[in-house]
Amino acid sequence: MARIATTRRVVASTIGAWFFGFLIFFPILWMMLTSFKTELEAFAIPPSFLFFHWTTENYATVQERSDYFHHAMNSIIIAGGSTLIALLIAIPAAWSMAFSPTKRTKDILLWMLSTKMMPPVGVLVPIYLIYKSFGLLDSRIGLVFILCLGNLPIVIWMLFTYFKEIPRDILEAARMDGATIGRELVYVLTPMAIPGLASTMLLNLILAWNEAFWTLNLSTSNAAPLTTFIASYSSPEGLFWAKLSAASTMAIAPILVLGWFSQKQLVRGLTFGAVK
């Protein structure tokens, strides 16, 4: 029996929720609006909220002057590459732990979790020096590698919790029917695992796209993804707010859309299944 919601209560909570929701979203909205202003209007006081001269010239300038798409491509390659490799390593591992658990499975899972706890600054020095001597500084492959390892524990954990939920009976039945492990994997497990795989991939893409410790420390220009590119706007060589806003809007737009799709899985992935 659902509680009867009085009209007054609905109106009050709706107004409240929309007000605070809008407040939290406002900085992003403001950035998006600013990206369509001219530089002069961008820092005019009093600011104009809607009635300014709308222009898309900032988007064009950002691309012309700073090669935005080069950095966007780096972001795509680094986030995409690290996610794919992490999945390739994690799928067999999670499959193995979910379906052939041993006495040590729990310890291994917790140990993997604990590797995620290691603060990146703790190993910044050796990683930097190793990268320097192997010529991996400012290289895409170096960033792919480090982001892949950094997110691997989360990927394994998420996949493990999803695989765990696949009913074992179905697998037993397939085995009884004489399915080999390969067939079992392709025809039984994969179709049931796809939703879990998709959300794991999505969450990992978001994390890798926004990662801003290793990318800032290990890349400068060639391999610089959008995080590093945007950081270059922090040098106070002039107030380019409209351009900063345009570049920022383009940098977050794709991930905002992906993120909105994956918000339910986010809770599960980031809490290691402790909150569902």
Partner 1 sequence: MATRQTQLLARSLLTPAVGLLFIWMIVPLALTIYFSTLHYSLLDPGSESFVGLENFRYFLTDPAFLASLQNTLVLVGSVLALTILLGIPLALLMDQPVIGRNFVRLMVIAPFFVMPTVSALVWKNLLMHPVSGLFAWLASLFGLTPIDWFNDVPLFAVILIVTWQWLPFATLILLTALQSLDEEQKEAAEMDGASAVSTFIYITLPHLARPITVVILIETIFLLTVFAEIFVTTGGGPGLQTTNIAFLIYSQALIQFDVGSASAGGLVAVAIANVVAFFLVRIVGRNLEA
Residues 139-198 that bind partner 1 (CB under 8 A): 149, 152-153, 156, 172, 175, 181
Tell me which stretch binds partner 1 (CB under 8 A): 56-64, 65-73, 91-99, 192-200: 91-99
Among 62, 72, 78, 90, binds partner 1 (CB under 8 A): 90
Our CB check for partner 1 shows the closer of 109 and 188 to be: 109
Q: How many of the other CB atoms lie within 10 Å of CB of 37?
A: 23
Closest approach, Cβ 57 to partner 1, in A, equals 18
Closest approach, Cβ 33 to partner 1, in A, equals 10
Residue 255 CA: distances (Å) to CA of 75, 79, 246, 263 = 11, 11, 15, 12
Our CB check for partner 1 shows the closer of 97 and 140 to be: 97
Instruction: Give the span between the Cα atoms of 166 and 169, in whole angstroms.
Output: 9
Closest approach, Cβ 194 to partner 1, in A, equals 19
User: Which parts of 59-88 interact with partner 1 (CB under 8 A)?
Assistant: none
Whether the CB-CB separation of 160 and 99 falls below 8 Å is answered with no
210 binds partner 1 (CB under 8 A): yes
In whole angstroms, what separates CA 79 from the centre of its chain?
8
Nearest to 59 by CA among 238, 251, 256, 232: 251
Residue 13 CA: distances (Å) to CA of 20, 23, 63, 224 = 11, 15, 44, 44
User: Which parts of 29-58 interact with partner 1 (CB under 8 A)?
Assistant: 30-31, 34, 43-47
In whole angstroms, what separates CA 77 from the centre of its chain?
13
124 binds partner 1 (CB under 8 A): yes
Nearest to 80 by CA among 132, 151, 185, 15: 151
Our CB check for partner 1 shows the closer of 61 and 233 to be: 233
- The amino acid at residue 266 is L
Binding mask 255-274 for partner 1 (x = CB under 8 A): xx-xxx--x--xx--xxxxx
Among 228, 243, 246, 265, binds partner 1 (CB under 8 A): 228
